Amino acid sequence: MNRIATRCTALLVLLAGAIGAPVNAQLAVPMTPLESVVAVVEEDVILRSELDRAVANILAQYADRREQLPPQSALERQVLERLVLLRLQVQRAREMGVRVPDAEVEESIRRIAQQNNISLDQMRAQLAADGIDFPEFAQSLRDEIVVQRLRQQIVQSRVQVSESEIDILLASETLQSGRVRVANILVALPDGATAEQIDLAKTKIDGVKGLIDRGEMNFQAAAIRYSDAPNALEGGDLGTRRLDELPPLFASLIEGMQPGDVSPAVRGPGGYHLLQLIERSNEGPQSVTEYQARHILVRVNEVVSREEARSRIDALQARLQAGEDFAELARAESQDPATRNQGGDMGWFPLYAWGQATGEALLKLADGEVSEPFSSDAGWHILQRLGSREQDVTEQLRRNEAREAIGRRKAEDEYERFLRQMRDEAYVETRLAS
């Protein structure tokens, strides 16, 4: 089951299986005829059995380091909050008309099975052996896809990146600072927090920092036990990112840190934060091999069969071998409107920019050499390689990366705001013993 579950996102940790660790059969929690409700989420409920399965999966993940986990009651509250937030996202997605056809879910399941080199029947057997109901697994996949679609809709409608923003970022030093892997501990504050709430949060984050500084607890363990962030159970790990993808406050702190350093407590998005720099990597100039070529295309369509197209391309190949000029023949006979008027000239391009078949054909040719006819989805081709070069694409890549970095940062900020607002406005009643 471990391999199956690793193909799914963190949502499936809670609903369908532990990521990175097998779920032992003895950890599976059977359904009972009468189940208690641990949370009411709008007009839906979360059952005790759902929470128990999710907690059991977390315990399986940390089987060899249970001491890093918070007390059982605190762990249950953390996991329950994740389940609540997931349930709210699924509800909101349905309200917005997000639907996932059964066929798409079935295709996702087939892909997971293929990625694990097992059949669907074998996958069902592995899930059953780990105490996971197959319909429940399928539903968790559907929920995952639904949440992904919801995020896309929210982000696409609210996030725009202007050329001036890209120019400003490119002119700054942060984009040149490479990538960093960062972990985070959050002591959350509600919107409109009172002075007392702020003081309590500051006292708590300072206490956590003290534990780390004195060596009584490492950063990961402290994040698991004390952080209010969604990634707390992953040790606060935010993954590897460019500095410019982080909030400016975080980026300024990280820039002056060395791997292993922990920042002072800072007030930032959502509350008070501690940051740890795990590792840093710098990026130098980047280049790509580009090729110049020209081609002749005979298309396959409703009128021209693949066999007829092959016959035509063979005839054109014979004319080339008889000494006709490639460019003139392309102008007269090629059915590619994008290149025909230029004598089939495709310009300079990375190896697979014109597709896998063209790239593979290029690799077999020396400069000036003409290929044998080969096929693609479009039809039959003859290709002449004209040259190759190493092209510095550092600036182009930096601009693309800047655009993506700004977009990701805005998307994360916007979706975080959306989630906080949704959570604040929703009716949620938890029924865990305090």
pLDDT at 174: 57
pLDDT at 176: 53
Sign of CA dihedral 418, 422, 424, 425: positive
Alpha helices in 63-177 (DSSP H): 72-95, 102-115, 120-129, 134-158, 163-171
* Of the candidate ranges 120-134, 135-149, 390-404, the one whose mean pLDDT is the lowest: 390-404
* Of the candidate ranges 11-15, 192-196, 294-298, the one whose mean pLDDT is the lowest: 11-15
CA distances from 321 to 276, 309, 341, 362, 371 (A): 66, 18, 22, 19, 11
DSSP secondary structure letters along 173-230: SGGGG-EEEEEEEEEE--TT--HHHHHHHHHHHHHHHHHHHTTSS-HHHHHHHH--ST
**What would the mean pLDDT of 95-106 be, rounded to a whole number?**
88
pLDDT at 178 over 80: no
Taking phi first (over 0 means left), then psi (-120 to 50 degrees means alpha), and beta for anything else, what does residue 259 get?
beta
Sort 211 into a burial class: Cβ within 10 Å, 0-12 / 13-18 / 19+. Answer: middle
Residue 324 dihedral angles phi and psi, to the nearest 5°: -70, 150
SS3 363: helix
pLDDT at 272: 93
pLDDT at 273 over 50: yes
Q: Is the pTM of this model over 0.95?
A: no
pLDDT at 349: 92
Rounded Cα–Cα distance for residues 115 and 352 (Å)? 24
Residue-range domains of the chain with CATH: 2-158 (1.10.4030.10), 174-284 (3.10.50.40), 287-392 (3.10.50.40)
Half-sphere exposure of 268 (CA within 13 A, CB side): 22
Residue 239 dihedral angles phi and psi, to the nearest 5°: 80, -175
pLDDT at 8: 41
Q: What is the mean pLDDT of the chain?
A: 84
**What would the mean pLDDT of 165-169 be, rounded to a whole number?**
86
Place 179 in a pLDDT band, splitting at 50, 70 and 90. confident
By DSSP bridging, strand 179-188 and strand 237-242 are: antiparallel
CA distances from 79 to 91, 135, 354, 393 (A): 18, 22, 47, 45
Beta bridge partners of 272: 187, 267
Rounded Cα–Cα distance for residues 373 and 317 (Å)? 7
Place 276 in a pLDDT band, splitting at 50, 70 and 90. very high
Among 418, 77, 57, smallest CA distance to 226 is for 77
Rounded Cα–Cα distance for residues 315 and 329 (Å)? 12
pLDDT in tens, 3-43: 343 334 333 433 333 323 333 333 344 444 457 999 999 98
How far is C-alpha 91 from the chain's CA centre? Answer: 22
Beta bridge partners of 296: 382
Are 329 and 320 in contact by the 8 Å Cβ rule? The answer is yes
pLDDT at 13: 37
Place 298 in a pLDDT band, splitting at 50, 70 and 90. very high
Place 219 in a pLDDT band, splitting at 50, 70 and 90. very high
Rounded Cα–Cα distance for residues 364 and 371 (Å)? 8
Q: Which of 16-25, 310-319, 424-433 has the highest mean pLDDT?
A: 310-319
* Of the candidate ranges 216-220, 229-233, 368-372, the one whose mean pLDDT is the lowest: 229-233
> Percent of the chain beyond pLDDT 70?
89
Are 366 and 293 in contact by the 8 Å Cβ rule? The answer is no
Place 297 in a pLDDT band, splitting at 50, 70 and 90. very high
pLDDT in tens, 404-423: 878 888 888 889 889 988 99
Place 286 in a pLDDT band, splitting at 50, 70 and 90. low
Residue 141 dihedral angles phi and psi, to the nearest 5°: -65, -40
pLDDT at 208 over 90: yes
pLDDT at 386 over 90: yes
**What would the mean pLDDT of 388-415 be, rounded to a whole number?**
83
pLDDT at 329: 96
DSSP 31: -
pLDDT at 162 over 80: yes
* Of the candidate ranges 117-121, 209-213, 259-263, the one whose mean pLDDT is the lowest: 117-121
Residue 35 dihedral angles phi and psi, to the nearest 5°: -115, 145
